[in-house]
A and B are shown apart, each in its own frame.
Chain A
Amino acid sequence: MRLKLFVFPSAIIVSIAFLIAYVIPAYREMKEKSALLLEEQKKLENINEKVNNFSALSASVSSNMSLMNGVLEYIPVSRSEDDIVNMIGNIVSGSGASIVDLQIISDSNKKTSSGKKEMSVENLKRQSLNINVKVVGSYDNTKAVLTKLSHLSRGNMVQSAIIESQTSAQQQTPNGNVLVLNVTTDFLYAPLAKIQSGQIAKVFSQRSLDFSPIANRSLEVVTPVIPEQSGKTNPFIP
């Protein structure tokens, strides 16, 4: 009888102890997992949206192959010096000017695509081939060279340019009809960019790509390099 008197209070004590030791932590864990699930579901929703955008982008790229090739021509993956030489030769002769000098100044590696984006991880590993071109011609000729240079199908950024009139030995005043243009420009190229593991690229937040920098350009038509049959028994003979 005495034992029975202790049963109920003991049961209450055991219940409270069990509640504190197991039930309440289990309930808290349930709440935490519920919040975690909600978070993961949001993440999944977000990724699903990005995958949908990726499908739309993929379809857009497939239907714009010529533009895509144009982009790769504008900023190629390699230096392609032959293209640069060919392009410069084409624009100088097409402008009626004469080339005096053509030099590679430097090949620089630039980490970022623009100053503004230095904080971002998403950058093209832009490299540039710094070329110096010196041409002689009339004002119209030199202006045409600069116009054609800005419309080249290969992306380049003029770093410096100077047009000066020439002073001949006979004349004391400069001759404004014969000008020397000395232009230094960076021809850009960049290896293929890869998404870092675990990173979701920003581009997948949009459903289309803006091709306008390439599509809206009136490109300078340059005759491509025509390969010639090669082979000489003595390669030192001109």
Chain B
Amino acid sequence: MDNVVLYAVFLLLVIFAAYGGIMTYTEYAYTREIVKTKEAIRSQESKLSSEEANKIYDLSLRLNEASTIERTVKMNEMLSNVEPLIVGGSWLTSFGYDRENNFITLKGAVNSLDILAKQLYNFRTSSVLLGSKVESLGVDTNGKHMFGVQIPVSAQ
């Protein structure tokens, strides 16, 4: 019967010991390690918000912006693209670009209808300026044939 008491005490001791063991292990192996790791994170994070870090951050944003600007339409390049398309007997009276609507508008005049047709054909079949659309046609007081063409611009 004494053994029964011993087993009972032993059982209780094992349970208490298990509890104590878990608590101690949690404290040393995890709780304190978590605190140390969090401190290390904070310390490293402070490096990433230092003055030098701000300088690099600002620089990177400016470079992103510069890259956006670089991708915008260059008017001189657009003019160079239009130049080879103008046929003899045809001339431009106006060249316009509007970034908001992102298209260029060409207005011009020609001496005769056959030249006008050739000019419009050149715009329509151009491999550089795609999607041209004839916006207006007419004849001015001097008998010149006038045209207006809109060309969408793909760049930003």
A157-B5 contact, Cβ under 8 Å, with A11-B12, A15-B12, A15-B15: no
Q: Which residues of A contact B74 (CB under 8 A)?
A: 146, 150
What sequence of 0s and 1s flags, for each residue 4-19 of chain A, a beta carbon within 8 Å of any chain B beta carbon?
Answer: 1101101110110011
A126–B68 Cα gap in the complex (Å)?
12
Size class of the contact patch on chain A: 35 or more
In the complex, which of the residues B1, B52, B70, B95 contacts A162, with contact meaning CB atoms closer than 8 Å? B95
Minimum CB–CB distance for A71 against chain B, Å:
5
Q: Which residues of A contact B58 (CB under 8 A)?
A: 124, 192-194
A126–B16 Cα gap in the complex (Å)?
65
Instruction: Determine the main DSSP class of A at the interface with B.
Output: helix
A61 touches B65 (CB 8 A): no
B34 touches A36 (CB 8 A): yes
Q: B100 contacts the other chain (Cβ, under 8 Å)?
A: yes
A14–B15 Cα gap in the complex (Å)?
10
Instruction: Determine the main DSSP class of B at the interface with A.
Output: helix
**Interface residue ranges of B60-100 to A (CB < 8 Å):** 60-70, 72-77, 79, 91-100
Q: Which residues of A contact B127 (CB under 8 A)?
A: none
Count of A-B residue pairs with CB < 8 Å: 230
A124 touches B45 (CB 8 A): no
Q: B139 contacts the other chain (Cβ, under 8 Å)?
A: no
Minimum CB–CB distance for B45 against chain A, Å:
6
A69–B117 Cα gap in the complex (Å)?
53
Which B residues are within 8 Å of any A CB, using their own CB? Answer: 1, 4-5, 7-9, 11-12, 15-16, 18-19, 22-23, 25-26, 29-31, 33-34, 37-38, 40-41, 44-45, 47-49, 52-70, 72-77, 79, 91-100, 109, 141-142, 144, 156
Which A residues are within 8 Å of any B CB, using their own CB? Answer: 1, 4-5, 7-8, 10-12, 14-15, 18-19, 22-23, 26-27, 29-30, 33-34, 36-37, 40-41, 43-44, 47-48, 50-51, 54, 57-58, 61, 68, 71-72, 74-75, 113-114, 117, 122-124, 126, 143, 146-147, 149-150, 155-165, 172-174, 176, 183, 188, 190, 192-195, 197, 200-204, 209-214, 217
